[in-house]
Amino acid sequence: MKNVIAQGELRTLVTVAALTLGATNAGSAQASPATPGCPTAEIFATDNTAIITDPADPRLTSRLTRFDREVRGIIHAHGARPGASTLLDGVFWSGSLNQATYERSRTFDVDKVGRDGLHHIAGVIAKEYRQESVLTFRCLPRTSPETDAVEIQAPGVSRTRLHDALLADPESRAELGGGSVTLDGRLILVATLADLPLAQKFTRTLGVDVNKAQVRYGDEEFVS
């Protein structure tokens, strides 16, 4: 998602928890989301190109209003339907800096879009805002051959708690990279299926109420 969010070592995980994984409804990625409430696809992006290490940095208070409007315009101009857009506070671990970095970004719901169209739109956003890559997630049935990732959401985690948990867990910060939290304290985690056990272990340390967690299956891609 930016020079921080989308780097390999700072791999977006927009964060959180799921300890139970149920089967999802079947359906096509474009016409019928695999999980109730899941849009056809999501794009996680930012217009930031700086590395921010101070949690009090004023850039972290931006609401990215202009960015929101511009990205929604890009989505519409390329034949898809923009849905809701949500502000995110990200905390990511930088191995090169050996410390936590911070990011203000947005997630955009996208409907009426297929795999190739989503890839194209994300590429346009990456180029327009000079991002190393932009993360996309397409909601798919759990049994789809294209499913390679999960997105887990749950309420009740602050940016501070996420930061402290990363610092205390070398394995999770090295393998997962970090995560993001909405302004009302809802964590969102996009992780590969292979990383799911570690993500589950990590989210337990965040005090997540597993009964309130939602799991979405799908396909993730970092588009540059």
User: For the chain, what is the domain count?
Assistant: 1
% of the chain surpassing 70 pLDDT: 85
Task: Say if residue 15's pLDDT is above 80.
Answer: no
Task: Say if residue 209's pLDDT is above 70.
Answer: yes
pLDDT value, residue 1: 55
pLDDT value, residue 2: 45
pLDDT value, residue 223: 98
**pTM summary value:** 0.84
Q: 186 versus 204: which is more confidently predicted?
A: 186
* 21 within some domain: yes
Q: Which domain holds residue 140?
A: 8-223
* 1 within some domain: no
Out of 11-25, 68-82, 126-140, pick the least confident.
11-25
What rounded mean pLDDT belongs to the chain?
85
* 151 within some domain: yes
Q: What is the 3-state secondary structure (H, E, C) of 109-164?
A: EEECCCHHHHHHHHHHHHHHCCCCCEEEEEECCCCCCCCCEEEEEEECCCHHHHHH
| Mean pLDDT to the nearest integer, 132-136 | 95
* 64 within some domain: yes
